[in-house]
Chains A and B, each alone.
Chain A
């Protein structure tokens, strides 16, 4: 290359018609640079050919966008009137300029700063969704829904609400959390969990939940037995395993974790039904026919909604309407969250080994025992503070 020849940036700029006069003047008189320009032109042509595929815009998309732009025609400036209303609705992720991803990041940071880590993985959101189930869903059920998808969702929701009448249900699934539920998890994992869960349908409220990291190590486990009035909660913080072994109050009629999880899924499906804009398709899955239902985002500005779903999708077994994959993201009380679930196995057994509902001891774990309440997170804080006080007083 001659000392005065153009560099690659100049050559690129020449090809793109963005070069300055000096570069153009040099190229006009330099055969070597002209050859490089031609070579790069060929590359850019090949690139354009591969990128500018003649992908026609799908007609449903054209119709949808046009309809949205027309709906907005009737709206008042900035106020969002004429759009979807109500406390619960599906809406465009960030289209209103209010649900700014940067803002949600800022919220998360603020959450950290305030020490919002609550040690009862995911239950906070589940509990919050319970409010939505009781308060929000009845209001949204009245809305029109696309029949076919809504019917499938309804059958699936019915199946979810039908409690297994006996035996022990063993569930194994993958779970990916981000946003609020991820921050609530006490472990240092990246939000991806392998979960094994046992639910005793003979003894109401008896369950065991255990999450494992990619290396197979147990991250969190909680087991509760209302009959024995005992709850064990084990987790690890900064490499130190802890075990909280508490007695439960009598007449604790609170909801168990599996009940909250089921309600969250039911509530999300009900919201999908309520959107009236579902897309359903039949898929030949590895184990037979399945329905895939997506809820496309629809427009609507945020006016302090209680619960927003920005995305929702579900995969339902066509034989028994069982939910096999499920993912939602959105915000609850303006706190963003996303949850993705993929069922690996689900079985109901008449009898199970004795340790099914036990939490295995971790080497070097610190055991804290005491009286518990209906709120595991509260127990952890109170019992830890008591232990701390005892230690301080002993010095």
Chain B
């Protein structure tokens, strides 16, 4: 037991920050991102206790975190939103962004459909196609195609967000 707990803590030190970053970008909500991290590492501990496969812990962690984030987002959609002034969004990166390039890139990301956003964020974390397929619950053979399409959509949204929104609404009336 102690060994599992120690292993879980070590993995938390190694991957915790990456999982937090991933969750923060995905759910964009301070407390939800924290909850995703907590839930992910609790599940990791249980995974270790049950002696399950640990050959690809990083991929496993992101899969669990992606599912936890999706659950949070769905649950949050069912709740009345707080007034914007009360919501604690994750603080934007403390990076020089004089020309607003990063902001526009992130805004474009959040214009995308949920699955596109998830695929892009997982890929940006360096996950393999196999791990992305597991985390996003899609066919591994489709990852390249879906990812390519997501990148194209992101690029279009970054170039002209309003035009992108208009096109998306016309293509998928009633969506989002």
Q: Tell me the interface secondary structure of chain B in the complex.
A: helix
B residues near A16, Cβ cutoff 8 Å: 123, 129, 144, 147
Q: Can you offer 29 A-B residue contacts whose CB atoms are under 8 A?
A: A8-B149, A11-B148, A18-B128, A47-B120, A47-B123, A51-B106, A52-B21, A52-B124, A55-B20, A55-B24, A55-B90, A55-B93, A57-B37, A58-B34, A64-B38, A68-B41, A69-B41, A72-B42, A73-B6, A95-B43, A176-B79, A178-B78, A297-B35, A311-B75, A315-B82, A327-B80, A338-B79, A340-B78, A341-B80
Q: Decide: A176 and B92 in contact? CB cutoff 8 A.
A: no
| A-facing residues in B147-168 (Cβ within 8 Å) | 147-149, 151-152, 154-155, 158
Q: Decide: B43 and A53 in contact? CB cutoff 8 A.
A: no
| A-facing residues in B1-27 (Cβ within 8 Å) | 1-2, 4-6, 8-9, 12, 16-17, 20-21, 24-25
The 7 A-B residue pairs with the shortest CB-CB distance, nearest first, are A50-B105, A53-B93, A73-B5, A12-B148, A51-B124, A8-B148, A9-B144
Seen from chain A, the residues whose Cβ lies within 8 Å of a Cβ on chain B are: 8-13, 16, 18, 40, 43-44, 46-58, 61-62, 64-66, 68-70, 72-78, 92-97, 101, 174, 176, 178, 191, 279, 283-286, 292, 294, 296-297, 299, 311, 315, 325, 327, 329, 338, 340-342
| A-facing residues in B103-125 (Cβ within 8 Å) | 105-106, 109, 120-121, 123-125
Seen from chain B, the residues whose Cβ lies within 8 Å of a Cβ on chain A are: 1-2, 4-6, 8-9, 12, 16-17, 20-21, 24-25, 31, 34-35, 37-39, 41-43, 45-46, 49-50, 68, 71, 75, 78-80, 82-83, 85-86, 90-95, 101-102, 105-106, 109, 120-121, 123-125, 128-129, 143-145, 147-149, 151-152, 154-155, 158
Q: Return the contact of A57 from the options B4, B17, B101, B124 (Cβ within 8 A).
A: B17
A residues near B90, Cβ cutoff 8 Å: 55
B residues near A329, Cβ cutoff 8 Å: 75, 79
Q: How far is the CA of A8 from the CA of B6 in the complex (A)?
A: 44
Q: Return the contact of A92 from the options B39, B94, B125 (Cβ within 8 A).
A: B39
